[in-house]
Copies of this chain bind each other. A is one copy, B any other.
Amino acid sequence: MLPTTNHNPAFNLTRASHVSLSVTDLERSRDFYRDVAGLVVTRETDNAIYLRGLEEASHHSLVLELAKEAKALYIGLRVRTDDDITAAEKFFKENNIEHRRVEKDYQGPTLQFRDPVGTWMELTSSMDVVDRKMQQFNEFVAGAPQRLDHYQVVTYDVQTATDFWTGLGMRMSEYTAKDGTDELWGTWMEVKGNTHDLVFTNGRGPRLHHFAYAVPDGASLIHAADVAGALGFGDEIDRGPGRHGISNALFLYLRDPDQHRIELFNTHYQFIDLETPPIRWDVSNPRRAQLWGMPASRRWFFEASEFPGEEVHEPLLQANPDTLEDYLGIH
């Protein structure tokens, strides 16, 4: 069933902003994100490394924390002001949504919560301001990722996730549905004016499928792949380069040393005007996954990062085994 965006939400979300992952070897992960992905290291401590994209004025958009197991700790969104944090806290309390205030270095007021499908989220209203590196072209490395853009979460219940987030003001730009029905299989939702900040797709979840950084252009994407190949990570490209039908992104997916997945992508489109309807794709339409290009690997389809302590559930909607291969775009 198509969701309805709440245009007067309880608080104001503004964008996808930061993600935190636990990793089992800090140096190895830092080397990957700095040299292969091309991010900038803002700060290193004994237990954590803070990174950001080249154009970002915020202290961090990726936080790596040392741990015994590799997990997706939470994914972060910005709210407009400190008052929005207060309003969010009130909303979660009133709606029995698990949440907690946390103190975070380099961040303003911060609130973590668990959405109805078990995704762990973190809201903050500000971060320490650092230099934008976007004109230090001599420091551009690999794909030269400019900024964190969006997340994709695998969930066992796309409808519930979508209802919740559109209730908080997100708007659906594109979606997949079971052929001839309104059963949602994947929803692309945005709050910042282009196609997506947060995506939910049907599958065993909750698990973080990937987080994505925008790169300047297709040439950067190819250079990223070339650098990955040169540094021994050619086999860790588990999809792409290719062009998604959904969102029109030119994409490349890479696995980090703990098998967390980062997407580098380019070219999605503006989505602001309210009269524009979302684009619908049948799940059975292979062009939704890619307009061209080699099919994704099975690793891309079936592997993702779990959240600590969150049980993974089988999806409520099951794919027809007869069309699963098509659904996956695996030929």
State whether B14 touches A272 (Cβ < 8 A). Answer: yes
B-chain residues with CB within 8 Å of residue A273 when the two chains form the complex: 14, 57-58, 78, 126-127
Contact, CB under 8 Å: B142 / A138: yes
Binary per-residue interface labels of chain A (189-229) against chain B in the complex, 1 for a CB within 8 Å, 0 otherwise: 00011000000000000000000000011111011011111
Asked if B293 and A225 make an inter-chain contact with CB atoms under 8 angstroms apart, the answer reads yes
> Nearest residue in B to A223 (C-beta to C-beta)?
B137
Mask, A13-36, CB within 8 Å of B = 1, is: 011000000000000000000010
CA distance A239 to B291 in the complex (A): 14
A76 to B80, CA, bound (A): 27
Q: What is the bound-complex CA distance between A229 and B244, given in angstroms?
A: 10
Residue contact A129 to B270, C-beta cutoff 8 Å: no
Complex CA distance for A161 and B231, rounded to whole angstroms: 36
Contacts of A146 in B (CB 8 A): 269
Interface residues on A, range: 35 or more
Q: How far is the CB of A16 from chain B (nearest CB, A)?
A: 11
- B residues near A218, Cβ cutoff 8 Å: 216-219, 222
Q: Which residues of B contact A140 (CB under 8 A)?
A: 223
Minimal Cβ-Cβ distance residue in B for A148: B270
Q: Does A243 contact B (CB under 8 A)?
A: yes
Chain B residue with the shortest CB-CB distance to A267: B216
Determine whether the beta carbon of B129 is less than 8 Å from that of A234: no
Please tell me if A274 contacts chain B, counting CB pairs below 8 Å: yes
Known contacts A192-B193, A277-B129; A292 and B248 CB within 8 A of each other: no
Q: By the criterion CB–CB under 8 Å, are B126 and A226 in contact?
A: no
Instruction: Evaluate contact between B230 and A129: CB separation under 8 angstroms.
Output: no
Q: Are B217 and A243 in contact (CB under 8 A)?
A: no
Which residue on chain B has the smallest CB distance to residue A146?
A: B269
**Chain B residues within an 8 Å CB radius of A14:** 272-273
Would you list the 8 A-B pairs with minimal beta carbon distance, nearest first? A217-B217, A229-B291, A219-B219, A234-B292, A229-B292, A137-B226, A294-B294, A55-B269
Residues of A within 8 A of B (CB): 14-15, 35, 55, 57-58, 78, 80-81, 108, 126-127, 129, 132, 134-138, 140-142, 146-147, 192-193, 216-220, 222-223, 225-231, 233-235, 237, 239-241, 243, 245, 248, 250, 266-267, 269-270, 272-277, 287, 290-295, 297, 331
